[in-house]
Chains A and B, each alone.
Chain A
């Protein structure tokens, strides 16, 4: 195993470009190592800003879990980019301006398609005092906004997108990466978190406007620490709504959770038992909210009440 060589922030823009343009940058994205190649400036910009606190390996050989290249393409409708994953190109090319977001989405795809030693759930995960809250929610529910906000209010961000559950122990592994914000929540977070670092903005994606927010140093430093799932919260942003948290019955929680897994079918009965044990050990709620401060108070009260 090669030694880590320092943080991305320690590389000059020229060094970073040189790595991305040649054999690739071996980037530590706990618990993975990812080799990234791309000559596209917005990819360099995104990595420079979003992964400044992440570490990288030197030029020598290091085992990488995934090799991602974001390649420039010329399409009929303008400049495009294409994602190459370990020699495969599984996706339709996107607009060049989406190249950094494409890297993030591609990395999500790598994890959900290949890492079956975990049960993977489409859910954000936050932790405090060793106990984790899972936020499974469809796009548009305000999950990422809530996640970005709570991370700045003392919760550790374990993941904005993927809960990684060890089927043997039921523990959650962390993979702290940039938080993906969409549309109105980008301006809201810029206003509420003036010190936060944002990545390049991708316009007119299938999800609308997308920008990422850098994970904080505290979350990254604790990336190796697992957590015990304790709460499952299905958040829903409702403009003007008074915060309301309604306990969700366990059977409905389990079915909804299963519908958010990427691979419980791969694990078969063991995957079902793992999910059922997770639900057994958690309190579950449907949470509707409109004010982030109210949500913070409610989430903080969870840790005091049990």
Chain B
């Protein structure tokens, strides 16, 4: 997919049926039914994945706001973007135009 330069990105999980998340206060584990792999994730990552598993697209700012329950600072959004890039690399989510 090509995106317009400067266009905002959103992220969506289209594989929610294949992904299972188990959360604890100290973090979580994602199970991917496609290959049976397990990935340990931080508490913040677990919360983000839980939100994305509802299948609704969201951008980094909205996700940061969801985490903080307040308006995020730019560095908060950067942090979320780093997580999202990792999730994309792991095949959990994909990017779509916002």
Query: Measuring CB to CB, which residues of chain A are less than 8 angstroms from any residue of chain B?
Result: 249-252, 254-255, 258, 264-265, 268-269, 272-273, 276, 280
Q: In the bound complex, do residue A255 and residue B20 qualify as a contact, i.e. CB atoms below 8 Å apart?
A: no
Given contacts A264-B36, A272-B38, contact A254 B29 (CB under 8 A): yes
Q: In the bound complex, do residue A272 and residue B24 qualify as a contact, i.e. CB atoms below 8 Å apart?
A: no
Q: In the bound complex, do residue B20 and residue A254 qualify as a contact, i.e. CB atoms below 8 Å apart?
A: no
Tally of A-B Cβ pairs under 8 angstroms: 39
Determine the distance from Cα of A269 to Cα of B17 in the docked complex, in whole angstroms. Answer: 10
What are the residues of chain A within 8 A of B33 when measuring CB–CB? 268-269
What are the residues of chain A within 8 A of B20 when measuring CB–CB? 269, 272-273
Query: Would you list which residues of chain B between 26 and 58 have a CB under 8 Å from chain A?
Result: 26-29, 31, 33, 36, 38-41
Which 3 pairs from chain A and chain B are nearest by CB?
A265-B36, A272-B31, A251-B40
Q: At the interface, yes or no: B22 with Cβ under 8 Å from chain A?
A: yes
What are the residues of chain A within 8 A of B29 when measuring CB–CB? 251, 254-255, 276
What are the residues of chain B within 8 A of A264 when measuring CB–CB? 36
Determine the distance from Cα of A169 to Cα of B13 in the docked complex, in whole angstroms. Answer: 32
A266 to chain B, nearest CB (A): 9
Determine the distance from Cα of A1 to Cα of B35 in the docked complex, in whole angstroms. Answer: 41
Of chain A, the residue at the smallest CB distance from B28 is A251
What are the residues of chain B within 8 A of A272 when measuring CB–CB? 20, 22, 31, 38
Interface size class of B (residues with CB under 8 A): 10 to 19
A119 to chain B, nearest CB (A): 13
Q: In the bound complex, do residue B38 and residue A254 qualify as a contact, i.e. CB atoms below 8 Å apart?
A: yes
Of chain B, the residue at the smallest CB distance from A254 is B29
What are the residues of chain B within 8 A of A280 when measuring CB–CB? 22
Query: Would you list which residues of chain B between 1 and 33 have a CB under 8 Å from chain A?
Result: 20, 22, 24, 26-29, 31, 33
Determine the distance from Cα of A249 to Cα of B24 in the docked complex, in whole angstroms. Answer: 9
> Besides A272-B22, A272-B31, 17 other CB < 8 A contacts?
A249-B24, A249-B27, A250-B26, A250-B27, A251-B27, A251-B29, A251-B41, A254-B38, A254-B40, A255-B39, A255-B40, A258-B38, A265-B36, A268-B33, A269-B20, A273-B20, A280-B22
